[in-house]
Amino acid sequence: AQSVTQPDIHITVSEGASLELRCNYSYGATPYLFWYVQSPGQGLQLLLKYFSGDTLVQGIKGFEAEFKRSQSSFNLRKPSVHWSDAAEYFCAVGASQAGTALIFGKGTTLSVSS
Amino acid sequence: GAVVSQHPSWVICKSGTSVKIECRSLDFQATTMFWYRQFPKQSLMLMATSNEGSKATYEQGVEKDKFLINHASLTLSTLTVTSAHPEDSSFYICSARDWGLAGPGGETQYFGPGTRLLVL
């Protein structure tokens, strides 16, 4: 079955500390992987995506993610968290076939403490 | 680039009325748009896939007669919640793929800001 698992429902980090959000996927075809961020009451903003090539991808707002095929993981990282990073983060997987919808994880809520 | 808008952002209606939500791709053409529903503190649930010029494909458990989708042009898809009831209250989000991008880039979905529906 195709699925995305985000094991951490809620994470709190101190401002300036590093962050890692976990994402594991189960997908039969070659996966396209995405991280989106959602602020309260807002839509989703694309942080970064992985299709192929270099397994370490850089995104906006200082985020990066590493694709590890052997672990079926696509963890999101940021070396120094800012208070404005507090939001809901969703990992998603899609297929290369045109028109295929994304499968989303349940999301991880990030809180940033001062 | 790759901006998706939704209108309205907020709507409150009486039970039994119908509500139309518009999803527009502002600076690109989208042959495929997706409609999601999100409950508080939960992930996005795909409702249907909307293809320009053809009937939408609904996910299992989604009533197509209740949630009417029309994708009349390459930049506009509409979701009409017919005879809305309080249980239809939710946050509805659309997304669109950039048809103009070939290859994997075209698989990126861009999301609208969402529409919050409250049915009284």
Alpha-carbon torsion (B104, B1, B45, A64), positive or negative = positive
Q: What is the pLDDT along chain A (114 residues), one digit of tens a residue?
A: 788 999 999 999 999 999 999 999 998 777 889 999 999 878 889 999 998 888 999 999 999 999 999 999 999 999 999 999 999 999 999 876 656 778 899 999 999 998
For B10, name the nearest residue in chain A, comparing CA atoms only: A41
Nearest to B35 by CA among B2, B73, B74, B64: B64
A69-85 burial by CB neighbour count: b if 16+ within 10 A, else e? eeeebbbbebeebeeeb
- Cβ distance of B43 and A106 shorter than 8 Å: yes
Say if B111 is an interface residue toward chain A (CB within 8 Å).
yes
| pLDDT per position as a tens digit, B53-74 | 888 999 999 999 999 999 888 8
Residue B4 binned pLDDT confidence (cut-offs 50, 70, 90) = very high
The alpha-carbon gap from A17 to the nearest alpha carbon of chain B, in Å, equals 25
For A46, name the nearest residue in chain B, comparing CA atoms only: B110
Interface of A with B (CB under 8 A): 32, 34, 36, 41-46, 49, 51-52, 90, 94-96, 98-102, 104-107, 109
Which residues of chain A neighbour B107 with C-beta distances below 8 Å? Answer: 32, 51, 94-96, 98, 100
Using DSSP, how many helices (H) and how many strands (E) does chain A show? 0, 12
**pLDDT of B11 strictly over 90:** yes
Residue B27 binned pLDDT confidence (cut-offs 50, 70, 90) = confident
Find residue B33's DSSP bridge partners: B50, B96
Q: What's phi and psi for B63, nearest 5 deg?
A: -80, 115
Residue A51: which residues within 8 A CB-CB, separation 6 or more? A32, B104, B105, B107
DSSP string, B22-34: EEEESSS--SEEE
